[in-house]
Structure 1
């Protein structure tokens, strides 16, 4: 019994991290400013943090990450703070409109434009298309979770996590993105 549980645990860890080392699959998104962004082609050789949500529940959990990601990676650091870093990276928050939700793409985009601060609008990309290819390539299955991918400058996935915000998860992302911190 212990062997079976150990094997299942090892297999689930392997499945969960199967995409680490792979190049992020091609994805085209539209920003709230109507710019088209192609990932990974438009990442310009920078480290990147990509957040994906494809259900109402996952969007709610993704919301728990907004302020921490904004404060950590986008706000200009306080020059008087002892531990404050500025990052040179791409950050994209991507709601995915797939299946029947595709019909709500434009109306939802307009609503989000009204509520998201103008300085954050370039970081929110809307994806409209199929989910199947991404589920397979990125190896996610829980539709009620947001998924996060840290990419190296070549677009390879170097770290993944999912779910609600936690300090531990954010610290792991910060540690992985240390090379993107400016001196």
Structure 2
């Protein structure tokens, strides 16, 4: 019973933390693709809904990766045949964040991504190198071992936030918000 109550309290605290960022503008962030193309968030994605996944530790990056295939199939992959025309017009970016001493590893991470990640997914992966503190404060992400996801509206305002490993329920909620 004690474990259940503690789990419930932690879950409620997570929901409250996410609720605190909903309605705020996503803070300015400059990231780059594997080809070193600069992308300024949220400025470069304004005009349509955007799903961003952020991770700032090795463990959280592994959980971020659990979202790649389901998000690709749901929002990126073009549908053909009878289902063509039912796709989503949404920006999607997964952003591993390299901060502090780890910032030097960005180049290595890019090369590793080019070798190990499906080439169809590479355009949707951005690498951030810089300070973590402004994002931790603005986005309320304190647990370094989990990834954080934000749905931005057409203006760059956060309309939904979640965190952790992929689940169908989380993806369904993201889809509901985007629709």
With structure 1 as the length reference, what TM-score do the two structures score? Answer: 0.87
Q: Which secondary structure does the structure 2 equivalent of 1:21 belong to?
A: coil
Confirm whether residue 51 of structure 1 aligns to residue 72 of structure 2: no
After TM superposition, give the deviation of residue 8 of structure 1 in Å: 9.3
Structure 1 unaligned regions, length at least 5? 179-183
After the TM superposition, which residues 1-183 of structure 1 pair with which residues of structure 2 at under 5 Å, given as runs? 13-81=15-83, 85-178=86-179
1:106 to partner: Cα distance: 0.8
Count of residue pairs brought into register by the alignment: 173
CA-to-aligned-CA distance 1:128-154 (integer Å, 9 cap, x gap): 001100000001111000000000000
Superposition misfits of 4+ residues, deviation over 6 angstroms: 5-11
Q: Distance in 2 between matches of 1:59 and 1:7?
A: 25
The farther-off stretch of 110-119 and 144-153 is: 110-119
- Cα deviation for residue 118 of structure 1 reads 2.9
Structure 1, residues 52-71: CA drift from partner, whole Å, max 9, x if none? 01111101111111110000
SS at match of 1:105: helix
SS for the counterpart of 1:119 is coil
Do the aligned partners of 2:33 and 2:123 also contact (CA within 8 Å) in 1? yes
- Normalised by the length of structure 2, the TM-score is 0.89
CA offset at residue 11 of structure 1? 6.3
Q: Answer yes or no: is the 8 Å Cα contact 2:51–2:150 preserved in 1.
A: yes
